[in-house]
Structure 1
Amino acid sequence: SAMVHVVIVSFPAPGHINPTLQFAKVLLQRGIQITFGTTVQAQAYIASSTTTDGISFATVSDGFDSEADVNNSEPHYPRRYERYGSASLAELIRSLTASGHPVDCVAFNFLLPWAARVAHEHGIPSALIWPQPVSVLALYYHYLFTCPESFADLSKEIQLPCLPPLVTEDLPSFFLPGNTHPHAIPMLREMFDNIHENKCGWAFTNSFDALEEDVIASLREHKINATGIGPLIPSLTPKTIKQAVKEAGKKEEIACNGAHEKPAISNDQNAASEEKKPEPSEQDNKPKKSELVEWLDAKPAGSVVYVSFGSIADVKSLQIDELAAGLMGIDHPFVWVIRPPADYPGFPAGFEDVVEKRGMVVRWCAQVEVLNHPAVGGFVTHSGWNSTLEGLVSGKPMVCVPQWSDQATNAKIVSHKWKTGLRGRKNDKGVIEREEFKRCVGLLMGEESGKEMRENAAKYKELAKLAIQEGGSSDLNIKAFIEALQPQPAVAAAPPPPPVEEHKERTME
């Protein structure tokens, strides 16, 4: 398997990079040579956020290689990336081949259907890495191919195979009249067309069979061979790419108590101070707990509410005020990950006193570590798929407050199919108000009201573990992929048959 070389190309946004890079690490651990291609800015983000030993990085250009501040959420960015990235990927494939490292497969994620086309033009198989649940993949497929008429009147309930009944507020934002990303649906169509035309040989999903077995089976009836390889839990910290580029060469403190951020320390300062330090003792070599983990260690099991709306969610000042007031109104200790906008005037009066008594406010944290801490009993989330999957794998019930894209559908599945959480209702300004926040947290954390959600969350936690263990469904699916890429041994020509001796019958005298 050491001879197999996979090029993985990622759209340069954290929600795309995280599972894609985790898949790269999984393949690397199984002896596959990995080249990870993305933009210059995304490479800076990765380098500042995680270890990537053994993975080679290459630029798949978006035409902004020399610029630090690139808005990849701008509506026309994906088509620009297609224009520059197609040529850049083709050149990368040719360069790797010329240097003695031919490519056996190109894997790519959502918004990069052109990567399959480039791979096909070079006679190389390709694999889609779908970064959302299989249920959302199925929803897009039905919208585009099997029953577009079901979506003609969004005021009516939509019934689709293996999904709960859907209404307008449950649909991806790309379906709605106010959609600000017109590129998404055409690119989804191209993605499915690549599969139909056999330009893309695999459709990997960051999910696992036991979680969405019925949806996987229904898609296979339409020749969409959705294959679970998850959970791919990201090891990256939730910085934005813009932050990572700005902070290149700096080290930032992770947690801060209250509303204050600790100052950054430059690498030069660190190097100077390290020269004066004596040789580390055995005690010094032990991993040090963060301030946040030490704070959690002091809290009773299942008592803490963890609140985070993701790495790039644009949280309005009004929403920050309502969340702060809601946290003041609950009895539970809490951790809140929040990065207020530059013009935010400050938290409501009395909030910092509450934080001092029973709260921790941080700009970012190691979310997987926090969710897996026994003190955390519930998760208030924006329902991005990475966060939703981390909540499931950690066995934590959720209050879902979706913002855009697939998040509303994820929230519906969590609350109505898996029943591991409930959805918070927003007002006409798109804000979950303090009283609704308190109602949802009360139900989630209640001994009786939250019992079924906690039991279901614990069930899926165990099923997720089984999927990635030796012989689990995701483990077997990854092994099958690697085996398909292995060079097939040449079949030796069969030796010629021995000459047939003439049979002579003995004559009886």
Structure 2
Amino acid sequence: MDVPHFLMIPYPTLGHANPLMHLSRVLAAHGCKITVLNTEFLHKRANTEGAEPHNPKGPQIEFVTLPDGLGPQDDRSDHMKLIFSIKSHMQPMLPKLIQDINALHVNNNITCIVVTVTMGWALEVGHKMGIKGALLWPASAVSLALCDCIPRLIDDGIIDSDGNPVKKQEIQPYPNMPMMNTTNFPWCTLGKILFHHIAQEMQTLKLGDWWLCNTTYDLEPAAATILPKLLPIGPLMESECNKTSLWQGDTTCIDWLYQQPPQSVIYVAFGSSASIDHNQLKELALGLDLLNKPFLWVVPPSNDNKANNTYSDEFHGSKGKIVGWAPQKKILNHPAIACFISHCGWNSTIEGVCGGVPFLCWPLVKDQFFNKSYICDVWKVGVGLDKDENGLISKEEIRKKAEQLLGDEDIKGRSLKLKELTLNNQVEGGHSNKNLKDFIRWQSNNNAHVIWKLL
């Protein structure tokens, strides 16, 4: 019998492409055939940045591309523009691409399309062509549940029809979840048009038979009871972790880490698209100076602030190392790391948990505030940073909270226990391991059913 053939379609950002590539490699390792569809721009950038998309592990992964409809000078950080351009240009071309792929793999046609959020239109295409579909949600399962209950939040008068909170208040979206401030809903910073897109997208995503998520039952037990289609398959981790990143990490920082004492380095990273203004950046830099400890600070090349002298004339940084990008999973598993100053994006949260590293939480937008609640209040493996009367996290606050975190042996102990609990999901017999095998078995049975119908 032919093996399942998955067509993987990520939204073209690092936070979507990386987890989908991790899942692709895991499925390929289980003998599945994988075709990854990237936008031409993303594919070219991956080649340029050294991610080696043409050199996957084994022959089971192939790459294809379609244009996103934007020109080389267009601003692809304008997500509203990118989302609608992708849908209007890629959706009409996808059926022909699928037919071409199937023509090359006559005995192993595409049996399932897996997308990340905002690419739900591909599930519509697949549905019309009789191809099963699934979603890989790149954030927490709780944020997925929250987006799924948008109609109820409107009906209950919590938000208006444009997604705005009717009033600022603390609510508990579902039983056994932390309280959440209504101003921190994931869509609150996105604007009216993107909110309506998300609401519509959630309906489209129901075409997917499964909603896969890089999480575990232990980390988010409530979400598994709320969403019947949810299939926790996390943590999506690999030994050669840097191979699936869209950007090539600066591996010199690993050599530098080996020169530092155990549990001495403060790791600072805010993801691939964080925006921090100059005054706040200055406070962060001076806070690291005040700590007088070795630090490793990732400042992505897309940021405006690229060189030490743009942070502050007062910033010395003599004990630290600043890099443009880094192999984060390797860093978080390095014995020299003491704590992680993080924006609490879900990928970083999972990677920090799997590294057993305590968090100093600095959420910036969207679901990061809710992730912070889990880190600090539910799992209790981190400490939050508070803003002053000027709306800044001061250098003194950074020093105080970092010293508090580094001196808390209970948090360190809980971090290591949570690491063990989370990683156990991927061993043979673990919950996520079983879920992944069930997902592959579902596709294998579906493939056999299709073949039987054809006969």
TM, length-normalised to structure 1? 0.78
Matches within 5 A, 1:129-140: 129-140=136-147
Q: Structure 1 residue 76: deviation in Å?
A: 2.5
Number of the residue aligned with 1:158? 171
CA shift, 1:425, in A, is 2.0
In structure 2, C-alpha distance between the alignment counterparts of 1:17 and 1:60, rounded to whole Å: 15
Structure 2 residue 433 is matched with structure 1 residue 469: no
* Distance (whole Å) between structure 1 residues aligned to residue 370 and residue 349 of structure 2: 11
Matched with 1:496 is: none
2:364 maps to: 403
Q: Confirm or deny that 1:126 pairs with 2:133.
A: yes
User: Where do 5+ consecutive residues of structure 1 fail to align?
Assistant: 245-251, 256-289, 492-509
Pairing partner for 2:326 from 345, 352, 365: 365
Q: What amino acid is the match of 1:149?
A: G
1:225-244 equivalent positions in 2, closer than 5 A: 225-233=229-237, 235-236=241-242
SS of the residue 1:149 aligns to: coil
Q: Deviations over 1:276-335 (max 9, x none)?
A: xxxxxxxxxxxxxx5422332232322211111112212322222111100111132211
- In structure 2, what is the Cα distance between the partners aligned to 1:436 and 1:170? 22
C-alpha contact 1:76 1:183 (8 A) present in aligned 2:
no
**Corresponding residue for residue 438 of structure 2:** 480
> Does the 8 Å CA contact 1:319/1:432 hold for their aligned counterparts?
yes
Q: Paired residue for 2:89?
A: 84
Aligned 8 A contact 2:360 2:401 in 1: yes
Q: 1:330 to 1:128 in 2, by over 3 A?
A: same
Partner of 1:208: 216
- Match of 1:58? 64
Moved over 6 A (4+): none
Give distance in 1, aligned partners of 2:2 and 2:386. Answer: 51
Summarize the Cα distance change of 1:428–1:94 in structure 2 as closer, same or farther, 3 Å threshold: farther
Letter in 1 for 2:135: L
Equivalent of 1:94, from 84, 88, 99? 99
CA 195–17 in structure 1, closer or farther in 2 if over 3 Å, else same: closer
For the structure 1 residues 148 and 90, does the alpha-carbon distance in structure 2 shift closer, same or farther, using more than 3 Å as the test? farther
8 A contact 2:21–2:244 mirrored in 1: no
Q: Which amino acid aligns with 1:364?
A: W
- Give CA deviations for 1:203-240 in whole Å, capped at 9, x if unaligned: 001111221122211233xxxx211111124845898x
In structure 2, the CA distance between the partners of 1:138 and 1:479, relative to structure 1 (3 Å rule), is same
Residue 9 of structure 2 contacts residue 115 of structure 2 at CA under 8 Å; is this kept in 1?
yes
**How much has 1:109 moved relative to structure 2?**
0.3
Matches within 5 A, 1:8-87: 8-47=8-47, 48-50=50-52, 51-53=55-57, 54=59, 55-64=61-70, 67=72, 70-87=75-92
Cα distance change on mapping 1:346 and 1:46 into 2, 3 Å: closer
**1:426 aligned counterpart, secondary structure:** coil
Look up the match of 1:304.
Answer: 265
Q: Aligned match of 2:310 in 339, 346, 349?
A: 346
Paired position in structure 2 for 1:7:
7
TM-fit CA distance, 1:71: 1.1
Q: Does 207-216 or 42-51 show the bigger shift?
A: 42-51
Amino acid of the residue matched to residue 453 of structure 1? Answer: I
Question: Take 1:204 and 1:459, find their aligned partners in 2: how far apart are those partners?
Answer: 25
Query: Does 1:333 find its partner at 2:297?
Result: no
Contact 1:20 1:129 in 2 (8 A): yes
What is the rounded CA distance, in whole Å, between the counterparts of 1:133 and 1:81 in structure 2?
Answer: 24
Gaps of 5+ in 2: 160-164
CA RMSD of aligned residues (A): 2.6
Q: Is the 8 A contact 1:126 1:200 kept in 2?
A: yes
How much has 1:149 moved relative to structure 2?
Answer: 2.2
Instruction: Say if 2:344 and 2:361, in contact at 8 Å, map to a contact too.
Output: yes
Mark the CA change 1:68 to 1:14 in structure 2 (over 3 Å): closer, same or farther. Answer: farther
Separation (CA, whole Å) in 2 of partners of 1:113 and 1:187: 11
Larger displacement relative to structure 2 (5-14 or 183-192)? 183-192
- Matched residue of 1:52: which SS? coil
* CA distance, structure 2, for counterparts of residue 347 and residue 194 of structure 1: 44
* Distance in 1 (alpha carbons) for counterparts of 2:306 and 2:333: 34
> 290-299 or 383-392, which moves further after superposition?
290-299
Please tell me the residue identity of whatever aligns with 2:209: G
Q: Deviations along 1:374-393, whole A, 9 cap, x unmatched? A: 11110001111111111011
How many angstroms does 1:142 deviate by?
2.6
Match of 1:218 in 2: 226
Which range moved further: 382-391 or 52-61?
Answer: 52-61
SS at match of 2:203: helix
Secondary structure at 2:34 match in 1? strand
C-alpha spacing 1:429/1:84, structure 2 compared with 1 (3 Å): farther
- Please name the residue that 2:162 is paired with: none
* 1:425–1:166 Cα change, 3 Å: same
State the 1:170 CA deviation: 3.9
String of CA shifts for 1:177-210, please: whole Å, max 9, x gaps.
xx344444333333432355xx210100111122
Q: Which has the higher mean CA deviation after the structures are superposed, 471-480 or 40-49?
A: 40-49
Secondary structure (helix, strand or coil) at the match of 2:268 reads strand
Taking the aligned partners of 2:256 and 2:350, their CA distance within structure 1 comes to 25
Contact 2:41–2:68 (CA<8 Å) still a contact in 1? no
State how far apart, in whole Å, the 2-side matches of 1:456 and 1:170 are: 27
The CA distance in 2 between the partners of 1:121 and 1:189, in whole Å, is 22
Aligned mates of 2:242, 2:360 — CA distance in 1:
23
2-structure distance, mates of 1:232, 1:206: 6
Q: Secondary structure at the match of 2:310?
A: coil
User: Secondary structure of the equivalent of 1:123?
Assistant: coil
Select the structure of larger CA radius of gyration.
1
Q: Please point out which of 107, 111, 129 is paired with 2:118.
A: 111
Decide which of 397, 400, 411 is 1:436's aligned counterpart.
397
